[in-house]
Structure formats: structure tokens, C-alpha cells
Amino acid sequence: MLQLAAEDYPDTSGVESAFDKAMKWLHTRRIFGAGMMKEKPVRRLMEETAAYLAKGIERGILEESPTEAMAASLRESAGVFSGFKTFHEMKEAAGLLLDEQGNLKPFERFSKDVQTINDAYNKHYLRTEYNFTVQSAQMAARWEDQQDDGGGRYLLQYRTAGDSKVRESHRKLEGITLPASDPFWDKYYPPNGFNCRCTVAKVRAAKYPATDSKEAMQAGDDATAGKYAEMFRFNPGKQRAAYPAYNSYTIAKCATCKKNGFSLAKVPSNELCAACPIIRECAGDIAKSQAAIERKHYLREMKPLLKKKVTLEVDGTPRSIGFRKEGNKHLFSDTFGRSSVLKKEHLATLDKVLEQSAYVDSSKGLSHERKDNIRKFHYFKGEIDGKTVYLNVAELAGTDSKGKVKVKYFLYSITDRIRK
């Protein structure tokens, strides 16, 4: 499990600045309710918190290879978690608006009083939550990779960090070995609490005998007994969430509400439930915004490729192959599922990969009609980090101002196998 040093944590100034602005806004409103979660200063605090925790997700999946669907779901869960956290911050702050006589405090006094909330939520709690984000994102990505049991040849084994800092309750789970399909992993897949350092490894069934499932479940129950430990009974990979639905900022019923179509939110049983639909709507918007920002960043990193040309033989004939804006956008999207090898950090140097590739084959035509003037694809075999990939070069036909046909070639996609 990834361990973080003090210097590894992101700067919290953005979150704290958003908190200060939200407090100025709250002082002018003199009240806070669930419906006010959409207000710009409140939403900004939620966005900054989500952005901070999203950095933990990126750090957690850095060395893993999750699908984009998994990564996107983890980011959205960070937004939901941030929304409920923001709701609690605002409610607590609203409780400090009035003095002992029931009068609105001067802003200077109110601002001083709410700093205890800022210190707790945006310094102490936030660091612990960041740790958990990194750990759960890492384990969620790993869960995807662990689903192939090789026809029963592999099992999953629970492992602690193996040192004196391991909690006694977690130590009892050491060595539990079960198939990925066993219900034990639904509830006790790490992390099993804040600052949990446990992990799960794929092992050969021939070498490690399976644990009795009922005994394993009992050990899991014992390891996560108690109100604050029970909320961590979830599998981040299976639920595609960085945080359990029932957490420090929600209620126990939240664990089953989603399964029932968010029934509590439809007829709110309390103010938290009333805030839930607004929080989830905002979280979805935040996740889309973060994805758009990331896309813009990587396309900017790829911009120098537009000036690069590589000459390669296509079926025995030398062709000049380059890059196009449309192709770069498609190459970016390829990092999200077409190849398990291609990573975002490889995008800016794809000209080097193309340069070292070799022609394999060409398509006979197109599988469907296109509107982008691409009429054919040519396949090249290359390597990224020592692993084989296939570079799909598009053949584009167009006409110049004089009506003469012009043919251009550009890199369109990266795949693990040739897709005709």
C-alpha cells in the first residue's frame, strides 16, 4: 500500500480560501438549509474539496490500470463525499452565527469562531480523508485487475503491512485466502478504516489453500466491529466508489438508499436527505468539469505533435505520417479503454513510438460509413514500455482548391490488438 510523507500532501489553500468566502456569504444570509447547497460560494467549497480529493484518486491509480469508467466513478464519489462534508461544515458554521443573546455576531467574531471548524475539517480531517482516497482508489483499480481467476487457478489473499503498527483487529485477517467471487470481499476488501495499510494479492490456488468462508466472514465482522468501523464494510472496486455510502458525513440508511432508488431523498426523512439530490447533481457536474480540464491539459501537451512527421513504409511505399487535432482527441480518448498499455503520460511522445513501429497490414475498407473522409486504416506494430501495441494510422482523402485529390496519413488510435 502506498505510504505518504508530509510533503506528499497537496496544498489546502484553495479549500481554505473557499471556506473563508463561504463564511462571508453565510454571515450575510444568517441561515443555512439544504436548498442552499446550490449557492455559488457553497458549491465552490464543495468543488475545491472534491478537487483536492481527486488528486488523491490520481495518485492512487498512478501505477494501476483502471478503466476510465472506474476512474470517472471514483472521481464522482469524491464529489458526493465532498458535498456531504460541505453540508456539515455549513450547518456547524450556521450554528455559530448568533451570540448568547440570539443576536447576529459581528463578522470579525464569527470569522474567528468558525476557524475551529476550518482547522478540523480542512486541515486535520482532510489529510486523513486524502489518505483514504489514495488507498481506496488504489485498491479499486487493483480489484479490476484481480477479477480474472485464470479458470480457478488464482485466489485473492488478504495481507497486512506486517509491522508493529498493524491494528490487532486487522492482524486477524492476515492470510485469509478466498476466490474473488466470495462474499467476504464484498465487505472486507481494504481499506478497512482510516489509515488502513492492508492490501490484497492474487495467489496461486495450488500453493495457498482456501480459507473457510464462514470463518473468514466472522473474522471480518470482528475486525470491523463498532459504529465507526462498520461504515468501512464495502469494496471500493466492486462499488466503484472511493468512499462507502455510509461514512463520517452520512447516516447508516445511506448504505441501502441507493439500492432503493434513493427513496429517502424523494421523501426526505431529514435535512441531509433533502440535500442529497442537490449534492449528487453537483458532484456529476464537478466530475465532468474535472474530466474536461484534464482533457484540455493533455491536448495542450500533445500540441507539438501537430508539427511532427514520420516517414514509414505502407505496404512497401514510403508515406509521410503525421498528427491532426481530430486524431489527437481520439488518441486521448484511447487512453480510456482501447489499450491497457497506453497511459496519459505517453501521449506527448507518440511520435517516437510511431517512428520505431513497423507496418503489419491494412484494412480492406471500412466497417461503416464515415463522415470524416477517412477511407482506410493501416496497422503498425510498436512498443510502449516494452509492451506491444498497435498503432492505427488513418488514410484521409480530400480535395484541394483546384479539385485535386490529396491523401494524408495521421495517427488515429492505439490498441492492444488489431481491430479491423
**What are the domain boundaries of the chain?**
6-297, 308-415
Residue 351 confidence class, pLDDT cut points 50, 70, 90: very high
Looking at residue 348, its amino acid is: A
pLDDT band at 367; cut points 50, 70, 90: low
**What is residue 270's predicted lDDT score, i.e. its pLDDT?**
85
Contact (Cβ atoms closer than 8 angstroms) between residue 236 and residue 136: yes
Amino acid identity for residue 179 in this structure: P
What are the φ/ψ torsions at residue 403 (nearest 5 degrees)?
85, 5
Residue pLDDT, tens place only, 135-174: 999 999 999 889 888 888 999 999 999 999 999 999 999 9
Which residue has 480457478 as its cell numbers?
152
Mean residue pLDDT of the chain comes to 91
Rounded Cα distance, 246 and 256, in Å:
9
In the prediction, which pLDDT does 96 show?
Answer: 97
- For 93, residues 6+ apart whose C-beta sits below 8 A from its C-beta are 22, 23, 26, 32, 114, 117
Contact 244, 231 (CB under 8 A): yes
Amino acid residing at 385: D
Give yes or no for a contact between 46 and 286, defined as CB atoms under 8 angstroms apart. Answer: yes
Range of weakest confidence among 25-34, 146-155, 364-373, 385-394? 364-373
Please say if the pLDDT value at position 186 is more than 80: yes
Angle between helices 40-60 and 13-29 (to 10 degrees): 160
Q: Which three cell numbers stand for residue 171?
A: 492482524
Please tell me the predicted confidence (pLDDT) of residue 347.
94
Q: Looking at residues 76-104, what average pLDDT do you find?
A: 96
Partners of 271 in the beta sheet?
none
249 grid coordinates = 458525513
pLDDT in tens, 384-418: 999 999 999 999 987 777 778 789 999 999 988 87
Q: Answer whether the bond into residue 304 is a cis peptide, omega within 30°.
A: no
Q: Which ranges of 177-212 does DSSP label H, i.e. alpha helix?
A: 184-188
Question: What's the CA gap between 53 and 22, in Å, rounded?
Answer: 19
Amino acid at 52: Y
Separation between Cα atoms, residue 371 and residue 396, nearest integer Å: 11
Render pLDDT for 247-298 as a digit per residue (tens, 0 to 9): 999 998 898 888 777 787 777 778 999 999 999 999 998 888 877 878 888 9
* Residue 293 identity: I
254/275 Cα distance (integer angstroms): 13
Q: At a CB cut-off of 8 Å and minimum separation 6, what does 138 contact?
A: 1, 2, 60, 61, 63, 64
